[in-house]
Structure 1
Amino acid sequence: MSLRTAHTQKELTLLLASIPIGLLALIGFIFWGFPPVYSFFWDTACGTIDTWLVCSGFLQRGFTSGILIGITAPIVGAYLVNRQMALIGEALAHTAFGGVAIGLFVGAAIPSLNYPLGFALIAAAVGALGMQYIAVTTDGYADIPIAIMLTGGFAVGIAVISYGVVFSATVESYLFGDILFVPFENVQLMVGLTLIVAATVALTHKQLLFITFDREAARLARINVWFYDTLLIVLTALVVVAAMQILGAILVAGMLVIPVAAAMQLTNSFNRGMLLSVLLGQVAIIGGILLSYYWNIATGAMIILVAIATYLIAVAVSR
C-alpha cells in the first residue's frame, strides 16, 4: 500500500468516525441553539428597520429559508455543472415529490407521521443511491438512470395523489413552491441540511474537485471515486429536499444550475466561481422575494426569473 493510499483511507476513516459526534452537535444546535439566534437576529433587524417586510413572521421565515438555499444550492451545483450533471437535480426533485405525496398520504391516515419533507428526504436519498447503482452496474448511457428517476418519481407522486384528493392543495405548495408559508420546523430542517452540506463539502472539497476534473487521475491516486460520487449525489438530494417547499419540484433545479452558469461566465477559477455563484444566488433569492411581493407574482417563479436575468447580464458582461 502506497503512502498516498494510506493517507486517503485515513482521511476517509476520520470522516466516518466524526459523523456521530457531528450529528449530536447538529441536533443540539437545531433544537436549542438556532431558535434564540434566529429570534435575536430578526428582533434586532426589526428594531433597526421598522418595516412590515422585515417584521412579518412569515417573511422572516421565507427570507431565512431562501438565503440558506441560496448558499447550499450553488455550492453543490458547482460540482454538478462542471461534471455535466445539471439534470440530476431535476430527477431528484421529481423523486422527492413522490416522497412528499407518500408522506402526505401516510400523514392523512396517521397524523403522528405527518412529516412529508421527511419522506421526501428518504425518497430522494434512495433515488440518489438508485441512480448511482444503475450507472455503475449497467452498460447504459449516464443519462438513463436520470431519465428513469425523473419520470418514475413523478409517476409515483401522481399515482398517490390520485388517491388523496383531500390534500391536493397541499401538494401544489411542494410542486410549485410556497416560500411565504414555510413553518419554523422546516426552517430548522433547512438549517440542519445546510450545515451538513457545508461541513461535508469543506471536508471533502479536495477529493470532489479531483473527481470533477480528472476522474482517471483520481483513480490512479487511489481515491475512492465511487464513494465521492455517491456522496455528491446524496448532497444534491439534501439540497433538493431543502429547496422544494421554496421553489417547488418543478423549479428547484434552477438554483443548482443558473447561478453557477452565470458565475462561470465571469471567472475561470472554480473556487472563485463557487463563491460568486453563492453571491448571485443571494441576489436571485432576495430580489425574487421582493419583486414577488411588489408585483404579486409567484415567489418561486420570480426567484428563477431573477436568476436567469443575472445569467443574461453575466453573459453580456463577459462578451
Structure 2
Amino acid sequence: MNPVLQASPLDPLLAPLYVLLDLWSAFMFLLWDLTGLALLQYQFLHRAILVGLCIGVMAPLIGTFLVHRQLALIGDALAHTAFAGVAVGLFLNAVIDLGVSPYLTAVVVAMLAALLIEVISETTDAYNDVSMAIVLSTGFALGTTLISINAGGLAVGINQYLFGNLSTVSPENAAILLVLFAVIVATVALTRNQLLYVTFDETAAEVSGIPVTWYNRVMVMLTALVVVGAMQIMGVILVAAMLVVPVAGAAQISGSFNGSLLVSIVLAELAVLLGIGVAYYAGATAGGVIVLVAVAIYVLAVVAGKVRTALGDDEAPTLGAIDAGDEPTSD
C-alpha cells in the first residue's frame, strides 16, 4: 500500500482500494517505459489521471440528465456548498484534530445541501433557481466564515480546493473518489429508466406511479457526489463546467439520448486527458486547462454540426430536440 503522510480512520476500510491504486500505478509505470512520457513517472499524477478518467464518466453521466432538466446551474450551487464542507473539515481538523479528509465532510455537506434545494422547492413553491441561489449563498458564506475564524490555519491551504491541484490527490482522496464513482454508476444503471422518464415527462411519470419527488432527490444527491469528486482536480470554481460543456458538445453531433450520453463521455475523457497533459507540460492549473480544452471541443462540435447541416445532412440536433430513445417504464 502507498504510504500516506498521516494515518486516517478510513485506512482500514479503504485498504483494498489502496491496492487497486498500486496496481494502477504499476500499469502507468509500464506505459512510461513503453512511451517515455515524462508525466507518467510520477505517482501523484497516476492518481490524478485515474481521478480524471472517473470524472470523465461521472460528470457527463449525471450532466446529461441535468441539462435536459434545465438544471445546469445546480453544479455551481453544490460546488459552493461543497466548499463549505471542505471548510468544515479543515476547521474540525484544526480545532479538535479530527483527522478526517475534508473531501469526506464535503460529501456530507453537499448531499445535505442537495436535499435542501429540493425541500425548499417543494415546500415553498419557489423555482429551482431560487432555492439554488439560497443554498449557494449560504454554503459560500459558511465556508468563508469558518476560514476567517481560523484564517491562519485554513486560508493557506484553501486555494487547492478553489482551483484544484493535481499534486494534492492523495491515496485516500483517490480511494474516496473510486467509491463515489461506483455509487454513481451503479445508481444510474439501476434507476436509468425512471430517471429518464422523470427527466422528459415528469407529469406522465407521476401519473404512472413513479415517485417523482424521490427520483428528483436521487438526482441532486448524485450531482453532489460528482461535484465533490471532480473538485479534487477541477476546483470549486470550475467543477460545474464538466457537468455541462461535454453534454452541450455531444448534443451538436448526436440526436438520441443514449448517443448523446456516450459521446459526452468520450468528449469529457478527451478534455481531461489533454487538459492534464497540457497543464503538466505548461505548468498551468489543470482545472482551467481542462475546461478550456472542453470548450474548444464544444466549439469544434458546433462547427461540425453547422457543416453537416450546410452539406444537406439532417438538421443538427439541439438539446431540446434530443430523442429519449427507449421508452422508460415505472418498474
Q: Which TM-score applies when normalising by structure 1?
A: 0.88
**Equivalent residue in structure 1 for 2:96, among 107, 110, 114:** 110
What SS does the aligned partner of 1:169 have?
A: coil
Q: Cα 1:169–1:194, aligned 2, differ >3 Å: closer, same or farther? A: same
Match for 2:144: what amino acid? I
Identity among equivalent pairs (%): 42
Residues 251-270 of structure 1 show CA distances to partners (whole Å, capped at 9, x for unaligned) of 00000000000001111111
Residues 21, 47 of structure 2: 8 Å contact kept: no
Residues 164, 234 of structure 2: 8 Å contact kept: yes
Residues 4-42 of structure 1 show CA distances to partners (whole Å, capped at 9, x for unaligned) of xxxxxxxxxxxxxxxxxxxxxxx6785365235324422
2:314 aligned partner: none
Instruction: Kindly report which structure 2 residues correspond to 1:168-317, keeping only aligned pairs within 5 A, or say none.
Output: 168-317=155-304
What SS does the aligned partner of 1:112 have?
A: coil
What SS does the aligned partner of 2:158 have?
A: helix
Q: Which TM-score applies when normalising by structure 2?
A: 0.85
1:58 aligned partner: 44
Is 1:42 the equivalent of 2:20?
no
Is 1:77 the equivalent of 2:45?
no
Name the CA distance, whole Å, in 2 between partners of 1:41 and 1:233. 35
1:151 aligned partner: 137
Unaligned runs of 5+ in 1: 1-26
Q: Could you list the runs of 4 or more consecutive aligned residues of structure 1 that deviate by over 6 angstroms after TM superposition?
A: none
1:167 aligned partner: 154
Q: Cα 1:206–1:116, aligned 2, differ >3 Å: closer, same or farther? A: same
Match for 1:242: what amino acid? G
Q: Cα 1:160–1:65, aligned 2, differ >3 Å: closer, same or farther? A: same
Q: What is the root-mean-square deviation in Å for CA atoms of aligned residues?
A: 1.5
What SS does the aligned partner of 1:194 have?
A: helix
Unaligned runs of 5+ in 2: 1-12, 307-331
Residues 30, 192 of structure 1: 8 Å contact kept: no
Residues 39, 280 of structure 2: 8 Å contact kept: no
Residues 118, 217 of structure 2: 8 Å contact kept: yes
Match for 1:298: what amino acid? T
Residues 117, 128 of structure 2: 8 Å contact kept: no
State the shift of 1:213 in Å: 0.4
Is 1:31 the equivalent of 2:17?
yes
Aligned length, in residue pairs: 293
What SS does the aligned partner of 1:266 have?
A: coil
